[in-house]
Structure 1
Amino acid sequence: MTSTASPGLSRFNEATPEAASAQLHEVCASTAWDAALAAGRPYDRLEDLLVASDTAMAALTAGDLAEAMAGHPPIGRPTPGDATSAREQSGVGAAEREELLALNLAYQDAHGHVFLICATGRTGAQMLAALKERIGNDTDTEREIVRAELGKINRIRLTRLAEAAAPAASASEGEPA
């Protein structure tokens, strides 16, 4: 059977277990999710990787979800120096930032974790409206919404990983120090 994997997916498939785990941890902070996807390598197609992600996401326990959520900064306050979180939250403007942060604290008090939403492609106003709508949910309902949102985030990040061009080689790469 011939693999139809993209160059980025091929690199992921061929990575050492440690390197693959590190790549997956950048996508999702759940060790159970990371382990499930790493164990499924190699993936012939991006769609196979995405299906494996969805399956692993559905199997996460409440503790696994809490671990995954701990890897996400609050909406309106991307992690400094983290290009991924800055890109994903680029729709948040200064006008919404203060209100998002205040409501996120109230959400954390109610649910025990940050408000999590797939921010890619959403405006700050849309995220603020979703936060206002979801803050009153019961914890079990909110856990399943978070699971779905994490699944969307993971799919976007895995697609970027699989479609990434080869990294530029440094001048000292492969040479002894």
Structure 2
Amino acid sequence: MSSSSFPGLTRFNTADDSTAAAALHEVCASRAWGSKILARRPYATTEALFAASDAAMAELSAEDLAEAMAGHPPIGRPKPGDPTSNREQSGMAGASDELKAEMLELNLAYQEKFGHVFLICASGRTGEQMRDAVRNRIDNTPEQEREIVRVELGKINRIRLTRIAENAEGDAA
């Protein structure tokens, strides 16, 4: 598919650097990731944009990953007024108070162990699936968890980049 099939991709390719950088920051809070994506513009296809994102994600240091994770709210507590967080975490919206309380407890235990929020590509997952994932992952080593987080961030970035590519208005939401 050409970028002309996606008005948002054309808009992203032709936006000034500060506008494009701001859109990328909404996708991923890592400045290193954003700089790599920005430097490779223009993108002929969304697949080329995804490939650049995946390559940039693979190159991120532990510090860059920490910066990226800092832009994500805990599961079950999306950022107030942030439609992206609310949409991505919609699987927790109908969760019981018991499940929400359990997720809060698990999030805190995870954060205490790893020093960052539990990160998962929550789109399309139920609250129970997210709870089961944090239960399964809390026993990982920090090194194992860092690589799982890298993969999950890559999935989230693809979803958010798709919004940019398909959005005629060109914003990241």
Q: 1:94 to 1:88 in 2, by over 3 A?
A: same
Q: Which runs of 4+ in 1 moved over 3 A?
A: 2-5
The separation in 1 between residues aligned to 2:138 and 2:115, in whole angstroms, is 11
Q: State the number of aligned residues.
A: 166
Residue 8 of structure 1 corresponds to 8
Identity %: 64
Residue 138 of structure 2 corresponds to 135
Q: 1:3 to 1:28 in 2, by over 3 A?
A: closer
Q: TM-score, normalised by structure 2?
A: 0.93
Q: 1:32 to 1:5 in 2, by over 3 A?
A: farther
Residue 61 of structure 1 corresponds to 61
Contact 1:33 1:57 in 2 (8 A): yes
The reply on whether 1:28 has 2:24 as its aligned counterpart is: no
Letter in 2 for 1:12: F
1:153-168 residue pairs with structure 2 within 5 A?
153-166=156-169
Residue 86 of structure 1 corresponds to 86
The separation in 1 between residues aligned to 2:35 and 2:169, in whole angstroms, is 24
- Pairwise CA RMSD: 1.2
Residue 104 of structure 2 corresponds to 101
The separation in 2 between residues aligned to 1:3 and 1:151, in whole angstroms, is 21
The separation in 1 between residues aligned to 2:34 and 2:5, in whole angstroms, is 20
- Structure 1, unaligned stretches of length 5 or more? 168-177
The separation in 2 between residues aligned to 1:163 and 1:101, in whole angstroms, is 34
Residue 118 of structure 2 corresponds to 115
- Structure 2, unaligned stretches of length 5 or more? none
Q: 1:58 to 1:5 in 2, by over 3 A?
A: farther
Which protein has the bigger helix share? 2
- How far off is 1:94 after superposition? 3.4
- CA offsets 1:63-105 (integer angstroms, 9 cap, x no match): 0000000000000000000000000000013322211111100
Secondary structure of 1:137's counterpart equals: coil
Secondary structure of 2:37's counterpart equals: helix
